[in-house]
């Protein structure tokens, strides 16, 4: 009899798929200068490869979820991983900026199917009492991309050139594709005759809309700080780039722990309680950083535990929010709701970057204040779901 404590085999390709698309999204930052030099464009123009990727993902993820609603999630995932892998493996075959941009748009179109499908599969295949931890496990693929994938891709680019970095992302996608084809349960294919109105109806629910607004606010709070963390820490504790790298590794480990703990706690106490606790910890951590700014300079070792707590709290939020969303939209609308939720994350990221930039222009000490205010607003507006939040 298999050990029920072990994750099911179908969960591994979902984690690897999340790791691949998240690495592919951010790894370009580490090889930006090389891309600009080889393609004959400015670094600002090369940076648009990141911006366009994010915009394409945010705009098309909800659309794909509606267009592919009648196709089984497993099949959508396999096809999208095929396109994603091909777009990355083809990078060494093209020359010039326009062709590279075309491949990045193609990869983003595929990623907009891959990640929502992976999260939706984790929620629909999991028993209700383990949904939170399975979602959190897939989320560790995203955290691991920041902690391991991006530094590893940058290192590969330094050794073999920036094209090898994209080939690596393509190979990751190919590995996820093979594992998904082998381990995802086939199951009966239920015919879905719902029209557009029936597909959209669960997303028009007032509580679902509130969760999406809360997502934008909390993600904006986190990204306002994360985007400018180097500037804040340099002014607060004189953190050098080398020390910053070590601190970010520590915070990444905290993020992995936070995501995993969140999944287990969601299954035990319900998503609403976990969300409130995670955001409260986030706000307390940001408030502590803001107070330290008033008495700067301080020691980097004073800041280090706050960074770990910040990352743990920030990564504890997604599993709880996704569980809240699925509680209200229903498992049958999992693909559509997760896709729309993914789009709202990118909206929050853009808002956070803009507001964080305005804050850092005035004073880096205002960045954690901005993060606290945005996340606090999200905490105020979070709705109470109809079910699963036992006693919340």
CB 310 within 8 A of CB 286: yes
Query: Would you state the pLDDT for residue 262?
Result: 87
Q: How would residue 332 be classed by pLDDT, with cut points 50, 70 and 90? A: low
Q: Round to whole Å and give the CA distance between 235 and 371.
A: 17
Tens digits of per-residue pLDDT, 234-255?
Answer: 899 888 877 877 887 888 888 8
Q: Round to whole Å and give the CA distance between 212 and 208.
A: 6
Count how many residues are written for the chain.
392
Rounded to 10 degrees, the C-alpha dihedral 236/239/241/243 comes to -140
> Measured in whole angstroms, how far is the alpha carbon of residue 254 from the centre of its chain?
16
Tens digits of per-residue pLDDT, 54-111?
Answer: 788 888 887 877 777 778 888 889 999 999 999 999 999 998 899 999 999 999 999 9
> How many CB atoms neighbour CB 212 within 10 A?
21
Give the residue carrying structure tokens 């780039």.
241
Tens digits of per-residue pLDDT, 151-170?
Answer: 888 888 888 999 999 999 99
Query: Would you state the pLDDT for residue 198?
Result: 52
CB 208 within 8 A of CB 318: no
Q: Which residues of 222-241 are buried (b: 16+ CB within 10 A; e: fewer)?
A: bbbbbbbbbebbbbbbebee
| Element at 2 (helix H, strand E) | none
Is the pLDDT assigned to residue 390 strictly greater than 60? no
| Nearest to 282, CA basis, from 299, 262, 266 | 262
As a whole number, the mean pLDDT across the chain is 83
């Amino acid at each position: 009899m298999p050990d029920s404590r072990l994750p099911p085999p179908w969960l591994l390709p979902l984690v690897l798929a999340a790791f691949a698309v998240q690495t592919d999204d951010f790894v370009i930052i580490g090889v930006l200068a090389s891309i600009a030099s080889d393609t004959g464009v400015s670094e600002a123009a090369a940076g648009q490869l990141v911006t366009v990727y994010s915009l394409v993902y945010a705009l098309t993820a909800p659309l794909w979820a509606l267009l592919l609603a009648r196709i089984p999630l497993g099949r959508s995932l396999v096809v999208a991983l095929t396109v994603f892998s091909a777009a990355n493996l083809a990078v060494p075959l093209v020359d010039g900026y326009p062709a590279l941009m075309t491949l990045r748009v193609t990869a983003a179109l595929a990623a907009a199917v891959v990640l929502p499908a992976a999260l939706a599969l984790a929620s629909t295949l999991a028993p209700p009492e383990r949904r939170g931890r399975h979602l959190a496990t897939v989320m560790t693929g995203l955290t691991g991309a920041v902690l391991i994938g991006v530094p590893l891709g940058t290192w590969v680019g330094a050794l073999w050139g920036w094209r090898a970095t994209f080939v690596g992302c393509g190979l990751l996608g190919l590995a996820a594709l093979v594992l998904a084809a082998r381990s995802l349960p086939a199951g009966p294919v239920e015919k879905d005759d719902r029209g557009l109105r029936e597909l959209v109806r669960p997303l028009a629910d007032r509580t679902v809309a509130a969760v999406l607004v809360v997502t934008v606010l909390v993600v904006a709070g986190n990204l306002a700080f994360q985007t400018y963390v180097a500037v804040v820490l340099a002014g607060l504790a004189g953190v050098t780039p080398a020390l910053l790298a070590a601190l970010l590794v520590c915070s990444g480990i905290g993020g992995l722990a936070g995501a995993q703990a969140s999944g287990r706690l969601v299954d035990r106490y319900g998503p609403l309680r976990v969300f409130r606790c995670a955001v409260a910890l986030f706000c307390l951590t940001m408030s502590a950083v803001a107070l330290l700014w008033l008495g700067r300079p301080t020691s980097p070792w004073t800041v280090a535990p706050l960074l770990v707590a910040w990352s743990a709290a920030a990564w504890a939020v997604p599993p709880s929010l996704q569980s809240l969303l699925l509680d209200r939209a229903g498992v049958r609308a999992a693909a559509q709701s997760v896709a729309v939720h993914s789009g709202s994350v990118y909206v929050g990221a853009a808002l956070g970057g803009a507001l964080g930039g305005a804050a850092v222009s005035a004073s880096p000490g205002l960045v954690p204040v901005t993060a606290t205010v945005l996340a606090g607003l999200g905490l105020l507006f979070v709705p109470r779901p109809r079910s699963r939040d036992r006693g919340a």
